[in-house]
Amino acid sequence: MKVVTDRATLTQARSTLDGTIALVPTMGALHDGHLSLVRAAHAAGADHVIVSIFVNPLQFAPGEDFETYPRDINADVDMLAAEGVSLVFTPTPDVVYPSQPRVRIAPGPGAEILEGASRPGFFAGVLTVVTKLFHLTGPDIAVFGEKDYQQLVLIRQLVTDLDLPVRIVSAPTVRDVDGLAKSSRNAYLSANERDTAQALSRALSAGAADGADPVAAAAKVLADAGDVDVDYLALTGPDLDAPIAGGEARLLVAATVGSTRLIDNVSVSLSPEFTAPIKHA
């Protein structure tokens, strides 16, 4: 496994890789969720997997956790070596953005709701860096987790709308035994906050079990939990469109526990009795 930090060495190392190439873009502080993306890349037929590790300043607003975002490159590299990764690209911001970037990918209407409403500019920053990483690494496949569901949908739209020659593969959310979705930001939680944070996955499970009114079922669990500051709890169709009775839908939540903002989501099969449009609580 090669670990490269600059563009010239990346280009040289990439040119030695034959066959189907998959990219797994990450911000590092890797956990089982990221490793599941690498495994999904292999399962999707990749001959070689490239992992990028880059904490992208463009997707952090002033006051967010860009400076304190967990970083542990040595542990990350060890984990990736054990997963049969061929190439790790771990650039500094000046490698990805050699000059102050003026242009952003406009993520469209799907970025105006949910995470996009709470974090203006976030998805423009994500889609811009993902596009650059595609150009720099030239993958046939790119793998993203369902944990960041809105991001996954918007990246699919990016690839479709801009005719990018990359096949997007998704991988299910990986959870700890207590149900908490794996996230690098879980490291910010104290032991008590971690217990409280389980309410998110419990709420989503309750919602998924009630196809007639998933939002009400989930909202009750969150309200009973206490100390969970809900930003949004929303039901959408699979493409963030309006949910329809009898169809597949997505139940998404964002909430702050202590000072840590967490997101999670699940698939829901709506029953024929479902009537409501997108609901927020």
Of 126 and 266, the one with the shorter C-beta distance to ligand PAF is 126
Our finding on whether 173 is near ligand PAF (CB under 6 A) is: no
Contact call for residue 27 and ligand PAF (CB under 6 A) = yes
- β-pair type (229-236, 167-171): unpaired
Residue 249: closest CA among 225, 200, 213: 213
C-beta of 165: minimal distance to ligand PAF in Å?
Answer: 18
CB 255 within 8 A of CB 222: yes
Q: Which letter does DSSP use for residue 163 in this model?
A: T
Which part of the chain contacts ligand PAF (CB under 6 A), choosing from 20-28, 94-102, 159-167, 207-215? 20-28
Q: Is 34 among the residues known to form the active site?
A: yes
Look up tokens 């990450």; give the residue. Answer: 26
* Closer by beta carbon to ligand PAF, 185 or else 194: 185
235 Cβ neighbours under 8 A, 6+ residues apart: 207, 214, 215, 243, 249, 250, 251, 252, 268, 276, 278, 279
Catalytic residue among 34, 42, 48, 135: 34
| Residue 56 binds ligand PAF, judged by CB under 6 A | yes
The Cα–Cα gap between 22 and 212 comes to: 39
| Residue (70 or 258) nearer to ligand PAF, CB | 70
- Angle (CA) 18-98-138 rounded to 5° is 20
**Which is nearer to ligand PAF, 118 or 205 (by Cβ)?**
118
User: Stretches 5-13, 19-27, 73-81, 214-222: which one binds ligand PAF (CB under 6 A)?
Assistant: 19-27
In the set 13, 14, 23, 25, which binds ligand PAF (CB under 6 A)?
A: 25
User: Which residue's structure tokens are 């989501």?
Assistant: 265
In the complex with ligand PAF, which residue's Cβ is closer, 91 or 214?
Answer: 91
Query: Which residues inside 99-158 make contact with ligand PAF, applying CB under 6 A?
Result: 126, 129-130, 148, 151
C-beta atoms surrounding 209 within 10 Å = 11
Q: Please give the Cα distance from 126 to 59 (Å, whole number).
A: 6
- The secondary structure of residue 278, as a DSSP letter, is S
CB of 178 to ligand PAF, least distance (A): 22
State the nearest-atom distance from the C-beta of 66 to ligand PAF, in Å: 11
How many chain residues touch ligand PAF (CB under 6 A)?
A: 10
Of 221, 222, 208, 220, the residue nearest 267 (C-alpha): 208
Catalytic residue positions? 34
Chain residues in the site for ligand PAF (CB under 6 A): 25-27, 56, 59, 126, 129-130, 148, 151
